[in-house]
Amino acid sequence: MGFLAPWFLAGIAALGIPIYVHLLRQYKSKPLPFSSLMFFEQRIQSSVKHRKLKYLLLFALRCLFVALLVLAFARPFVHSDAVAKATGAKTVILALDNSFSMRQGGRFAKAKEAALTELAKLGTGDRAQAVTFGGNARLLTGMTTDKAELRGALQAVEPGDGASSYADLSRILRSTVQSLHTPIEARVFTDLQKSSMPASFADLKLEDGTKLEIFPVAKDMVPNWTIESVDAPSRVFDTRKVRTLATIAGFNTEEATKKVSLLTGGKVLETKTVKIPANGRATVEFLALEAPYGLSRGEIRLDAGDAFPEDDHWYFAVERADPKPALLIHSDSDASSTVYIRTALDASNEPAFTLDPIATSQAANTNLGKYSFVILSDTGPLAEKLENNLRDYVQKGGSILVALGKNSVPGRKIPVAGLQVAGVHFVAPDKERSLTVASVDASYPSFARGTNWDGVEFFLAARVLLPENGRDVRIAARLSDGTPLLLDQNLGEGHVLIFASAFDNIANNLPLQPVWIPFIEQTTHEIGGIGASRGVYKVGAYVELRSAREKGVPVEVIGPDGKRALTLSESAKANIFQFPAQGFWDIKRANGHEELAAVNPDRKESDFALIPEETLTLWKNTGLAPVTSTKDGGAAGKDTGEKSELWWYVLVALLLLALAESVLGNRHLGTDDPQVVKKEAA
């Protein structure tokens, strides 16, 4: 037993109140009129009577009332596990596997039936908790003795599309023992998939005092073919240049020949046959993808004819569009940057942009609104009208890439960005070594794929004077002398990228290096509003819904069933969304862009290999050590576990005492009344 607020026990000093009432105030005499005291002898009254208590039962009731009142404020409790031990009750975890593999052959129905059977076997005082671990482990109920609640929770569970994890299950069991500080019995209903085991056996360790019982619903390994992965473009600009690659895998299978089909919008475009070796893999390649403009739902379908048809398809999303126009403004004497940039854009697997080059002297009246982005290639200072037009373009959400070169003037501001050029570093080949890339931010889109910058040499680099706060400027790469190579500055609704060198093969050799094409492709996709949309996700994966600047703007997520997946409150506040099931999810973002996300189950669920018996034995043995307890029923060296408070019982006792004290007090007060005394004397 313990107290949640033990400092209130200091109120026990209030016991002096009933003592004061009974001992010090009960002998105060009232003056009565009397004729004369001349015939009475004056004597000293004994004080022994003053020190004696009267009405001992009433006194005891009042002292007990004060003591219980103090006890109620101190909030006494007892450990619920101590109560369970005293009554011999059990603490049970009913863990139900509802992962994707449990859809095979009625496995889930068998597991649910076994769980309900074990629930019915629990005694009256036994307490239990229902848990699922298909995907993220989830507590369905609290620890309760209410069998109806547990039964309702188990009956409501449906098989999901997530991947089971025995490591997550072990974590739930460990936290339960640590919070309750009592031995538990974990009854697990699962298909014992080997692929659900963690890489490290230490992640399976159970807390001491955990008895693990496995109720398997699978005894033999099931042969299964599946579409293991699909490499398909998320965007298509020319349907004749599309390559879709599907990998077909067999688990515990013999050599077989299967048909694989490519579909868009539910229509079969092409079917091929593939020979799959025993327990092996094979690939199928499709070289065309007819899709209408806009977002389309693609699918690879396998004619497997096995015992698990649920994994014989793979969803992917594709968006077809025409290449978007982009503008390159260069100095009148610069012709090489146009060649290098256009070549890099055309060399991409899916050219997303067409480049319109124009000289600085002719760009003043250009309609910038029709371009996805603008590149300023070492233009130097611009005419006031052109710079104002460019600044307005960025303020309204456009993006500009500014390359600095020999035309940069120290002390002058960079066009549109407004940052000042502190100086230009010209490398003298006979006196110093060329500059190299010292660091890149791999999380920045421009460096997501092309990270091998070792062979790139810089002979010219402009030093940009950063603002004092630097709040709206992100440095994505630096040169070996510390000079920022690539800066990203927020400006209004858009942003400006500043590259501290030129794209002309004179200031550097970047256009001749392998990293040039992926760098230009990724950078232009980012500033052109295409981004790096994944298109395909696993069940349980997260997707970002909004940026920091889009806070409070509603985002709509439509599930495969056509219903909204977010409430009105969530659509305005949620920053991420976790895909709970397979299918196509339509995401309408705050910036007006619509994305179609194709979600597939984790293909490790398609491998029905079973956990070896010796591994199961080792897992069970990790929790067989007994729980060491202290005298008060808690675990040694740990905080108390689940507590049952006794304040309700104390309040009931206080109410009864108050009634008894009132009745008894009125009786004694009536006895002290002078009229009552006279009547009793008569």
| CATH number of the domain encompassing residue 421 | 3.40.50.880
Does residue 371 sit in the same domain as residue 485?
A: yes
Taking only the tens place, the pLDDT of each residue in 571-611 is 888 889 999 999 999 999 866 778 899 999 999 999 999 99
If pLDDT is split at 50, 70 and 90, which confidence band does 680 have?
Answer: very low
Question: Do 232 and 173 lie in a common domain?
Answer: no
Please report which confidence band the pLDDT of residue 637 belongs to, taking 50, 70 and 90 as the band edges: very low
Place of tokens 């219980």: 68
Residue 332 has pLDDT above 90, yes or no: no
For position 237, which CATH number holds?
2.60.40.10
Residues 228, 188, single domain; the answer is no
| Cβ–Cβ under 8 Å, residues 325 and 371 | yes
Q: With respect to residue 629, please indicate whether it lies within any of the assigned structural domains.
A: no
Which residues make Cβ contacts (< 8 Å) with residue 323, sequence separation at least 6? 237, 351, 352, 353, 354
Are 359 and 496 found together in one domain? yes
Q: Cα 40 vs. chain centroid, distance in angstroms? A: 95
Neighbours of 7 (CB within 10 A): 9
Residue 498: name the closest of 414, 402, 393, 409 by CA.
Answer: 402
Whether residue 474 sits in one domain with residue 559 = no
Q: Which of 600, 629, 655 is the last residue of a domain?
A: 600
pLDDT in tens, 213-257: 999 999 888 999 999 999 988 888 877 778 899 999 999 999 999
Estimate to the nearest angstrom the gap between the alpha carbon of 84 and the chain centroid.
35
Evaluate whether residue 633 is within a structural domain. Answer: no
Confidence bin at 81 (pLDDT 50/70/90): low
Does residue 627 fall inside a structural domain?
no
Average pLDDT, integer, range 316-339: 90
Q: Is 617 within the bounds of a domain? A: yes
Asked if 478 and 550 sit in the same domain, the reply is no
Q: For position 199, which CATH number holds? A: 3.40.50.410
Half-sphere exposure of 190 (CA within 13 A, CB side): 30
What does the pLDDT average to over 648-663? Answer: 78
Residues 236/390/329/521 CA torsion (nearest 10 deg): -30
Please indicate, yes or no, whether residues 237 and 278 belong to a single structural domain of this protein. Answer: yes
Q: Please indicate, yes or no, if residue 240 is contained in any of the structural domains.
A: yes
Q: Where does residue 86 rank: exposed (0-12), middle (13-18), buried (19+ CB within 10 A)?
A: exposed
Q: What percent of the chain is modeled with pLDDT above 70? A: 83
Model confidence at 418, pLDDT cuts 50, 70, 90, reads confident
Distance, in Å, from the CA atom of 80 to the CA atom of 84, rounded to the nearest integer, reads 6
**In sequence order, what are the residues at sequence separation of 6 or more whose Cβ sits closer than 8 angstroms to the Cβ of residue 219?**
610
Q: Is residue 286 part of a domain?
A: yes
Judged against a pLDDT cut of 80, whether residue 370 lies above it is answered with yes
pLDDT classification of 282: cutoffs 50, 70, 90:
very high
| pLDDT of residue 137 exceeding 60 | yes
Quick check: 640 pLDDT over 50?
Answer: no
Write a three-state SS string for 146-172: CHHHHHHHHHCCCCCCCCECHHHHHHH
Band of pLDDT at residue 86, cut at 50, 70 and 90: low
Average pLDDT on 265-293 reads 93
User: What tokens were used for 175?
Assistant: 């936290």
* Boundary residue ending a domain (527, 557, 575): 527
Q: What is the DSSP string of 556-617?
A: EEE-TTSSBSS-HHHHHH-SEEE--SSEEEEEE-TTS-EEEEEEE--GGGG--PBPPHHHHH
Residues 479 and 347 both lie in one domain? yes
CATH assignment at residue 580:
2.60.40.1930
Residues 164/177, Cβ–Cβ less than 8 Å: no
In a domain, 68, yes or no: yes
In this structure, the strands spanning 138-139 and 127-132 are antiparallel
**Among the listed residues 349, 355, 324, 325, the one whose alpha carbon sits nearest the alpha carbon of residue 337:** 355
Residue 117 and residue 98: Cα distance in Å, rounded? 17
Contacts of 402 by beta carbon, 8 Å cutoff, 6+ apart: 375, 376, 414, 415, 416, 417, 496, 497, 498, 499
User: Can you tell me the mean pLDDT for 636-654?
Assistant: 61
Q: What is the pLDDT of residue 635?
A: 42
Whether residue 521 lies inside any domain: the answer is yes
For residue 48, the model assigns a pLDDT of 45
Residues 509 and 498 placed together within one structural domain of the fold: yes
Residue for token pair 């984790």: 602
Residue whose token pair is 């607020």: 5
Which has the closest alpha carbon to 467: 408, 420, 401? 420
Residue type, 164: S
- The answer to whether the CB of 400 falls within 8 A of the CB of 488 is no
CA dihedral 10→12→14→19, nearest 10 degrees, is -150
Assess whether 581 and 482 both reside in one domain.
no
Single residue among 482, 508, 527 that ends a domain in this structure = 527
In this prediction, residue 109 has a pLDDT band, given cuts at 50, 70 and 90, of: very high
* pLDDT above 80: residue 483: yes
Q: Are residues 424 and 438 in the same domain?
A: yes
* Counted domains in the chain: 5
Which of 47-56, 230-239, 367-376, 564-573 has the lowest average pLDDT? 47-56
Q: How far is CA 69 from the centre of its chain?
A: 46
d(CA 102, CA 218): 9
User: pLDDT higher for 360 or 632?
Assistant: 360
Residue-range definition of the domain harbouring residue 10: 2-74+646-681
Backbone angles phi, psi at 456, to 5 degrees: -90, 125
127 shares a domain with 208: yes
- In whole numbers, what is the pLDDT of the chain averaged over residues? 85
